[in-house]
C-alpha cells in the first residue's frame, strides 16, 4: 500500500472484527436502509472511531489519514491519546510527515516506554514517515538506550537509511562494551571513511593492549584487504576460538581456500549471526563447493542466514531464477528485494513464475504478502497489470485475507476492474479493498456504488464509503 504502511494482519483483523460486529447487529443494518445517507455516514464514522475494539479504531484512523483531508486532523490527534498503543501508533504514522509536534512528542514517549520489539518498529516508522530532523533526534535517543540490542538495531536501520549521527556519538558506540554494538558502529565507519577504518584496525592490531588487539581483530572482518593477510594467518594458527573465527572471515573474503571447511562448519552449526557472517565470507572463495554454498542456505530456517544468502546472490547479479524462492519467504522484506531484482531482469518471466506460485495453496498467501509489501517501495503497475487476470480470480477466494490482498493489488493495475455488483457486494475482502481505493480515486460516477457501500453490513466498508463520500463533497450524486 502506498502512503500509509498498512500491515495485512492489522487490516484483516479490523476487517473480520468489523464484519462480525455488523453481523451481530443485523436489525440495525436493515434499519439503515430507511435512514438518510448523511445519518448512516455519521453513524459509521462514530462507530469506527469509538469502537470498543482497538483494531477497528486504528483502521478507521488509517482510512481517515489516507484521504489526506485536513478535516480529520483533530480526530487523528485525539488518537494520540487513545488507551491502546496500536491506535496511538497509527495516529503517529498519519501525523508525522507534517512534522506534527504532538505526534512527535507521543512517539518519543513510546520510544522510552516500549519494549525492544516495539521500539525497533517505531523507529522504522519514524525513518519512513518523520522529518529529517526528527529522524536524527529519535535515532540519537535510541543510540543511547540501555539495551545493547536496541543500540545495534538502531545503528543498522539508520545506516541503511543514511541518517547522520554526530562523530562523537559514533566514536562512543565504537567503544561500546557490547561487541555487537561496537561491530555495527565500526561497520558504519567503514562505509563513511574506509581509510580511517583500515588505519584504526592496523593500529589496534599493533597495540600492546590485549583488548585493543582483540577489538581490532573483530573489526577486521569488515575489511577485505591483502594488507591483513599475514596477520590473519598468524591468528589462524595461534589464536583462540573467537580470534580464529574473525581471521577465517577475513581470509575467506580474501579468497583463501584453506578456511573453507571451517567456515562451512560455522554455517551449519553456528549461531544465526555467525553463520550469516561465515556465509558472506565463504562466497568469496573460488572453489565450486564454496560458490554453491549460498544456494544451499536459501531455505535455511534462520532469517539472518537467508538474508545473507539473498545479499550474496544480488551482489552476484544472478538470473531471476536464483532468487525466485524468496518470493514465498516468510519475511516479506526479502520477497520485496527479490522481486525488485526479478522485475529489472525480466518482467515477462516474473509474471509467469508468480502466476504459477499463486496456483499453489501453500505459497499463495506469502506471495501476495510480498507483492503487497513491495507496493510501498516499487512501482509495480506494469507487473500487476499483467497479473490482473490471476488476481481477479483470487478476489473472490473464500479466504478473506487472500481475497482482500488480491483485491488491493488488482486495483493498482493500469486497467481498473469493474466495481463489485450483485453477490460480489457482500464479499468482505473485495468490497473493503474496492471501497478503500475510492477514498483517493472516487469520481461522481462512483456515487451509486458508494451509496450502497455506505449501507454495507461490514462496518469498515461503511467507514471507507463515508470517507470517500466526504472526499467527493458537492460532486457526490447519491441520495
Boundary of a domain, candidates 413, 436, 451: 413
Same domain, 371 and 310: no
Let me know whether 225 and 302 are in one domain: yes
- 43, part of any domain: yes
Domain closes at, from 318, 346, 361: 318
219/266 same-domain check: yes
434 and 467 share a domain?
Answer: yes
Statement to judge: residues 307 and 277 lie in one domain: yes
Q: Are residues 233 and 304 in the same domain?
A: yes
Q: How confident is the model at residue 1 (pLDDT cuts 50, 70, 90)?
A: very low
Residue-wise pLDDT for 63-122, tens only, equals 999 999 999 999 999 999 999 988 999 999 999 999 999 999 999 999 888 888 888 888
CA distance 369 to 6: 11
**Position of cell 517505531?**
122
Reported as a single tens digit per residue, the pLDDT across 282-313 is 999 999 999 999 999 999 999 999 999 999 99
C-alpha cell recorded at residue 365: 498467501
Would 58 be classed as within a structural domain? yes
Task: Report yes or no: 440 and 69 within 8 Å, Cβ to Cβ.
Answer: no
pLDDT at residue 28, rounded to an integer: 52
Given pLDDT bands bounded at 50, 70 and 90, which one contains residue 8? Answer: very low
**213 and 303 fall within a common domain:** yes
Distance CA 253, CA 255 (A): 5
What pLDDT score was predicted for residue 67? Answer: 92
Residue 198: inside a domain, yes or no? yes
176 near 151, Cβ under 8 Å?
yes
Identify the CA nearest to 260 among candidates 236, 231, 235: 236
The grid cell for 343 is: 522485475
Task: Give the model confidence (pLDDT) of 373-402 as tens digits.
Answer: 777 666 678 888 888 889 888 888 888 888
pLDDT in tens, 268-278: 999 998 999 99
Please state, rounded to an integer, the average pLDDT across all residues of the chain: 86
User: Which is nearest to 437 in space by CA: 414, 415, 416?
Assistant: 416
Per the rule left: phi > 0, alpha: psi between -120 and 50, beta: everything else, 373 is alpha
- Tell whether 403 is covered by a domain: yes
My answer on whether 306 and 353 are in the same domain is no
Residue 3 lies in a domain: no
Range of the domain at 335: 324-413
Which grid cell sits at 221?
572482518
Q: Give the Cα-Cα-Cα angle 159, 344, 294 (nearest 5 degrees).
A: 65
Residues 336 and 358 in one domain: yes
One domain for residues 405 and 432: no
> Considering the domain boundaries, does residue 199 fall inside one?
yes
Residue 68 and residue 6: Cα distance in Å, rounded?
15
pTM across the whole model:
0.73
DSSP 8-state assignment for residue 99: T
Q: Give the mean model confidence (pLDDT) for residues 14-21.
A: 46
Same structural domain, 313 and 329: no
State the first-to-last Cα distance of the chain, in angstroms, to the nearest integer. Answer: 31
Q: How far is Cα 108 from Cα 205, in angstroms, rounded to an integer?
A: 41
Q: What's the burial of 94, exposed, middle or buried (CB within 10 Å: 0-12/13-18/19+)?
A: buried
Domain end among 256, 286, 318 = 318
Sign of CA dihedral 432, 435, 439, 441: positive
For residue 211, being part of any structural domain is answered with yes
> From residue 103, how far is each of 97, 215, 440, 457, 465 by CA, in Å?
10, 41, 24, 33, 27
What span, in angstroms and rounded, lies between the C-alpha atoms of 76 and 34?
A: 31
pLDDT at 466 over 90: yes
> Does residue 100 belong to any structural domain of this protein?
no
Which CATH number characterizes residue 244's domain? Answer: 1.25.10.10
Residues 372 and 460 in one domain: no
29: confidence class by pLDDT, cuts 50, 70, 90: low
- Among 224, 243, 227, 225, residue whose Cα is nearest residue 235: 243
Number of domains, the chain: 3
**Distance separating alpha carbons of residues 87 and 50, to the nearest angstrom:** 11
Largest pairwise CA distance in the chain: 87
430-459: per-residue pLDDT in tens?
A: 888 889 889 988 889 989 999 999 999 889
User: DSSP letter string over 309-360?
Assistant: HHHHHHHTT--HHHHGGGGG-SSHHHHHHHHHHHHHH-HHHHHHHHHHHHT-
Distances in Å between the Cα of 258 and the Cα atoms of 65, 233, 264, 269, 292 are: 58, 10, 11, 19, 17
Amino acid at each position: 500500500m502506498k502512503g500509509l504502511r498498512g500491515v495485512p494482519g492489522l487490516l484483516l483483523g479490523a476487517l473480520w472484527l468489523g464484519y462480525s460486529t455488523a453481523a451481530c447487529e443485523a436489525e440495525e443494518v436493515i434499519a439503515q436502509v430507511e435512514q438518510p445517507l448523511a445519518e448512516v455516514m455519521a453513524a459509521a464514522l462514530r462507530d469506527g472511531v469509538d469502537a470498543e475494539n482497538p483494531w477497528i479504531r486504528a483502521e478507521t484512523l488509517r482510512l481517515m489519514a489516507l484521504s489526506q483531508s485536513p478535516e480529520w486532523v483533530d480526530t487523528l490527534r485525539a488518537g494520540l491519546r487513545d488507551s491502546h498503543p496500536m491506535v496511538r501508533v497509527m495516529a503517529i504514522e498519519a501525523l508525522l510527515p507534517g512534522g506534527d509536534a504532538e505526534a512527535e512528542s507521543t512517539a518519543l514517549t513510546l520510544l522510552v516506554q516500549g519494549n525492544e520489539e516495539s521500539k525497533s518498529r517505531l523507529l522504522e516508522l519514524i525513518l519512513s514517515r518523520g522529518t529529517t530532523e526528527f529522524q536524527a533526534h529519535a535515532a540519537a535517543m535510541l543510540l543511547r538506550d540501555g539495551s545493547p540490542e536496541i543500540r545495534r538495531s538502531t545503528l543498522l536501520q539508520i545506516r541503511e537509511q543514511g541518517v547522520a549521527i554526530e562523530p562523537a556519538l559514533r566514536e562512543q558506540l565504537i567503544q561500546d562494551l557490547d561487541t555487537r554494538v561496537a561491530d555495527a558502529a565500526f561497520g558504519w565507519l567503514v562505509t563513511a571513511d574506509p581509510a580511517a577504518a583500515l588505519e584504526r584496525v592496523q593500529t589496534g592490531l599493533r597495540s600492546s593492549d590485549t583488548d585493543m588487539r582483540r577489538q581490532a581483530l573483530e573489526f577486521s572482518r569488515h575489511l577485505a584487504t591483502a594488507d591483513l593477510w599475514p596477520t590473519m594467518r598468524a591468528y589462524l594458527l595461534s589464536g583462540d576460538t573467537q580470534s580464529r573465527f574473525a581471521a577465517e572471515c577475513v581470509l575467506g573474503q580474501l579468497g583463501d581456500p584453506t578456511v573453507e571447511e571451517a567456515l562451512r562448519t560455522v554455517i551449519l552449526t553456528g549461531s544465526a549471526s555467525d553463520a550469516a557472517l561465515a556465509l558472506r565470507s565463504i562466497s568469496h572463495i573460488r572453489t565450486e563447493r564454496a560458490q554453491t554454498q549460498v544456494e544451499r542456505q536459501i531455505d535455511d530456517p534462520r532469517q539472518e542466514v537467508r538474508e545473507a544468502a539473498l545479499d550474496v546472490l544480488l551482489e552476484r547479479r544472478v538470473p531471476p531464477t536464483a532468487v525466485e524462492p524468496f518470493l514465498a519467504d516468510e519475511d516479506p522484506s526479502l520477497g520485496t528485494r527479490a522481486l525488485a531484482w526479478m522485475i529489472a531482469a525480466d518482467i515477462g518471466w516474473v509474471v509467469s513464475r508468480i502466476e504459477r506460485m499463486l496456483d499453489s495453496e501453500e505459497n499463495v498467501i506469502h506471495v501476495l504478502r510480498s507483492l503487497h509489501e513491495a507496493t510501498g517501495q516499487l512501482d509495480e503497475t506494469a507487473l500487476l497489470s499483467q497479473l490482473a487476470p490471476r488476481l481477479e480470480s483470487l478476489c473472490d477466494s473464500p479466504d478473506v485475507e487472500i481475497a482482500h490482498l488480491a483485491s488491493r493489488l488488482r486495483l493498482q493495475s493500469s486497467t481498473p476492474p469493474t466495481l463489485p455488483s450483485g453477490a460480489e457486494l457482500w464479499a468482505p475482502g473485495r468490497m473493503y479493498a474496492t471501497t478503500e481505493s475510492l477514498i483517493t480515486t472516487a469520481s461522481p460516477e462512483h456515487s451509486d456504488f458508494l451509496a450502497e457501500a455506505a449501507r454495507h453490513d461490514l462496518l469498515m466498508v461503511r467507514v471507507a464509503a463515508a470517507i470517500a463520500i466526504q472526499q467527493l463533497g458537492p460532486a457526490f450524486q447519491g441520495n
